[in-house]
């Protein structure tokens, strides 16, 4: 079902993205509405709608997504960065294809809104 999201369309090459990293398991591209000087999304090729739907079978994939997030942050020259995974509408998730936000390049306040 999440293949029918806009991220599914990006994965299928139906709409363009500003790609920064890709491998057999995931794709990373710049957020179209950046909230910081660096704002990249890391998404699995496998359609998982939200983090809450992940199971034990996704353990290696979830670890891979975080390691790719670190790699992207380094690639972008970030020493400090934040990773965010919104799971569910009340948490702010708007695209129901699991994604890791990688944000940096400015001081980031805490707690989030």
Residues that bind ligand AMP (CB under 6 A): 6, 17, 31-33, 41, 86, 92-95
Q: What is the DSSP string of 21-57?
A: EE-SSEEEEE-SS-SSSEEEEEEESS----GGG--GG
Nearest-approach distance from CB 94 to ligand AMP, in angstroms: 4
Q: Which is nearer to ligand AMP, 56 or 100 (CB)?
A: 100
Closest to ligand AMP by CB, 6 vs 62, is 6
Residue partners of 53: CB distance under 8 A and separation at least 6:
98
Q: Give least dist CB 102 to ligand AMP, A.
A: 11
Taking the least distance from each CB to ligand AMP, the nearer of 22 and 56 is 22
Rounded to a whole number of angstroms, the minimum distance from the CB of residue 40 to ligand AMP is 9
Q: Do 73 and 31 contact (CB within 8 A), yes or no?
A: no
Q: Can you read off the two tokens belonging to residue 108?
A: 């980031």
Would you please indicate which residues are annotated as catalytic (active-site) residues?
99
């Amino acid at each position: 079902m999440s293949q029918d999201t806009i991220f599914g369309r990006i994965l299928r090459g139906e709409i363009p993205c500003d790609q920064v990293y890709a491998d057999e398991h995931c794709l990373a591209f710049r957020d179209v509405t950046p909230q910081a000087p660096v704002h990249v999304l890391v998404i699995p090729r496998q359609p998982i709608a939200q983090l809450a739907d992940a199971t034990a079978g996704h353990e290696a994939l979830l670890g891979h997504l975080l390691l790719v997030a670190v790699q992207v942050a380094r690639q972008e020259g970030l020493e400090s960065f934040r990773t965010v995974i919104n799971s569910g509408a009340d948490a702010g998730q708007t695209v129901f294809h699991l994604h890791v936000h990688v944000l940096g390049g400015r001081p980031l306040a805490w707690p989030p809104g």
